[in-house]
Amino acid sequence: MKQQAILSQVTTGMPVVDAVGVEVGTVDLVQRGDPNAVAVQAPTADPGSSIDELIEAAAVEEPDVPADLAARLLRTGYLKVTTELARTGAVYVPADQIAAVTDGRVRLDVPAGDLPPEE
């Protein structure tokens, strides 16, 4: 529950700093945890041929990481952080890696290099 309380203090646009003080980027998405979340469902139906169906099929579900990590992030909650430190332009911060939210910044307890990048 401590993780959910910390997540409730985070808002989009906040700067994120890692454990050694490196600017990671800014918060793009705050997702509270769902202890009942178990897996990310991949679409199974044919996307169809209408433009709306094709757009919907191409939409990326969050979090865009391997399924086992996605399940963990969905259970615990996470931040998606826009960053220039990752090739894909974003990394995910599991809620349990947030040390504090102080002075309008999110401070992590891990180095930026340990954060999983968006796929």
CATH code assigned at 71: 3.90.50
Establish if 77 belongs to a structural domain: yes
Establish if 92 belongs to a structural domain: yes
Take residue 93 and report the two structure tokens written for it.
């911060």
In degrees to the nearest 10, what's the CA dihedral of 2, 94, 30, 87?
Answer: 160
Instruction: Please calculate the CA angle 22-26-27 and round it to the nearest 5 degrees.
Output: 125
User: Could you read off the pLDDT tens digit of each residue along the chain, which spans 119 residues?
Assistant: 688 899 999 999 999 999 999 999 999 999 999 888 765 454 444 555 566 654 554 455 899 999 999 999 999 999 999 999 999 999 999 999 999 999 999 999 999 999 999 99
Q: How many domains does the chain have?
A: 1
CA distance 8 to 55: 31
Take residue 31 and report the two structure tokens written for it.
């997702």
Give the structural domain span for 104. 2-114
Alpha-carbon distance values, 15 to 25, 46, 54 (Å): 6, 40, 35
Question: Does the model's pTM come out above 0.85?
Answer: no
Establish if 119 belongs to a structural domain: no
